[in-house]
């Protein structure tokens, strides 16, 4: 094909105009996104009254991985909130003490500190408060405060770490501080992703398809609930706002408040790393992200999303994945003759 010079120049001009129009569109998209979302903070946000120090983060990481926080010594926090698999265990319900099974899908610990509250029903105010719960749950780790504290007090390295982590306290070896240390560690578990790079100004951090997905995510209305720094995690909503879901056995936040208006109300999950944190929903009943998006469109928005919309939205959701290639599995201090032994019963 041969083209005259003037034609080539004209085409180049058209291309330029189109390209700058596209750039304007894209910049508009980013501006619109910035109305709804915020990039992850560049450093962890710690809790007032739970100031971090190296010993506290080290202690929190060790406790997170220490199965001596369970009665049987079989389960650690990481068993169900596995840092190697998006901070979850990829099971519908987690397996606990004596092979018992939980009633809600284990949420991810990654970025959890940015949520308004913890657990599906928001019954814990923050990660520090959440982190003292599962140890004592008979179907999860099956331990008692007394057992855990007797174990920790019997291990010199832990005694020293508690002292170093809470230098302002006269009696640092307290169960509450187990939560404070684990919580402080969990606040470091932030996963900046391509979407953050995009929000921070790198237009090419998202592909064309991901941008279309972002646009659809906002236009369709997903963003009404999944917004903010965690793309969710910052409000409570009723499951089945428009159309009823298949399974409504779980009463959600009603169990916490006893208020009729909280029936089937759940904390909106964060969508960060969502492609890793299957299966989906409070009951872990849906294994494909495409299907989860489709159901959400119908139950929450009354929208029958097209396959193309779903495909693009899922592409966008992929840009929220930001876990590291690996995490530190710390070597734990050994037990001593005084350490209460594991009990599988």
Strands 265-267 and 236-238: antiparallel
Question: How far apart, in whole angstroms, are the C-alpha atoms of residue 238 and residue 302?
Answer: 14
Question: How far apart, in whole angstroms, are the C-alpha atoms of residue 183 and residue 68?
Answer: 18
- Enumerate residues 160-219 that contact its own copies by CB under 8 A: none
| CA count, 13 A, side-chain hemisphere, 144 | 5
Residue among 140, 186, 210, 312 flagged as catalytic: 140
Residues 54-83, mask of contacts with its own copies (x by CB under 8 A): -----------x-x----xxx----x--xx
Rg of the chain over all Cα atoms, to the nearest angstrom: 24
Given a contact cutoff of 8 angstroms between Cβ atoms, the answer to whether 62 and 223 are in contact is: no
* For its own copies, the closer CB: 84 or 201: 84
Given a contact cutoff of 8 angstroms between Cβ atoms, the answer to whether 268 and 261 are in contact is: no
* For its own copies, the closer CB: 72 or 188: 72
> Least distance (Å) from its own copies to the CB of residue 325?
6
* For its own copies, the closer CB: 6 or 326: 326
Phi then psi for 266, rounded to 5 degrees?
Answer: -135, 155
* For its own copies, the closer CB: 90 or 257: 90
Question: How far apart, in whole angstroms, are the C-alpha atoms of residue 89 and residue 76?
Answer: 12
> Least distance (Å) from its own copies to the CB of residue 85?
5
127 touches its own copies (CB under 8 A): no
156 touches its own copies (CB under 8 A): no
> Least distance (Å) from its own copies to the CB of residue 274?
10
Given a contact cutoff of 8 angstroms between Cβ atoms, the answer to whether 83 and 276 are in contact is: no
Question: How many residues of this chain interact with its own copies, rule: CB under 8 A?
Answer: 39
> Least distance (Å) from its own copies to the CB of residue 254?
28
Nearest to 109 by CA among 76, 147, 67: 76
| 140 catalytically annotated | yes
Residues near its own copies (CB under 8 A) are: 65, 67, 72-74, 79, 82-86, 89-91, 95, 98-99, 101, 275-276, 278, 287-288, 323-332, 334-335, 337, 341-342, 344
Enzyme catalytic residues: 140
């Amino acid at each position: 094909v041969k083209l005259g010079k003037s034609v080539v120049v004209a085409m180049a001009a058209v291309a330029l105009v189109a390209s700058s129009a596209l750039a304007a569109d894209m910049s508009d998209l980013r501006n619109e996104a910035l109305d709804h979302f915020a990039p992850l903070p560049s450093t962890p946000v710690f809790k007032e009254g739970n100031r971090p120090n190296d010993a506290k983060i080290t202690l929190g990481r060790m406790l997170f991985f220490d199965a001596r926080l369970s009665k049987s010594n079989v389960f650690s926090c990481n068993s169900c909130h596995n840092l190697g698999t998006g901070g979850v265990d990829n099971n519908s319900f987690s397996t606990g003490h004596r092979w018992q099974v939980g009633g809600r899908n284990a949420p991810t610990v990654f970025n959890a500190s940015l949520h308004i509250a913890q657990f599906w029903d928001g019954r814990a105010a923050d990660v520090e408060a959440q982190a003292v719960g599962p140890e004592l749950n008979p179907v999860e780790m099956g331990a008692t405060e007394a057992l855990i504290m007797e174990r920790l007090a019997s291990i010199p390295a832990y005694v020293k770490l508690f002292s170093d982590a809470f230098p302002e306290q006269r009696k640092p070896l307290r169960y509450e501080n187990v939560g404070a240390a684990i919580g402080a560690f969990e606040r470091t578990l932030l996963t900046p992703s391509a979407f953050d790079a995009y929000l921070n100004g790198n237009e090419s951090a998202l592909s064309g398809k991901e941008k279309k997905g972002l646009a659809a995510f906002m236009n369709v209305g997903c963003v009404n609930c999944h917004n903010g720094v965690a793309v969710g995690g910052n409000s409570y909503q009723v499951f089945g706002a428009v159309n009823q879901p298949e399974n409504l056995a779980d009463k959600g936040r009603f169990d916490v408040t006893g208020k009729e208006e909280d029936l089937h109300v759940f904390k909106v999950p964060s969508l960060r790393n969502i492609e890793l944190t299957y299966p989906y929903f409070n009951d872990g009943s849906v294994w494909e992200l495409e299907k989860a998006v489709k159901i959400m469109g119908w139950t929450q928005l009354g929208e029958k999303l097209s396959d193309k919309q779903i495909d693009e939205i899922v592409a966008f959701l992929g840009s929220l994945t930001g876990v590291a290639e690996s995490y530190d599995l710390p070597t734990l201090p050994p037990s001593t003759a005084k350490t209460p032994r594991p009990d599988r019963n």
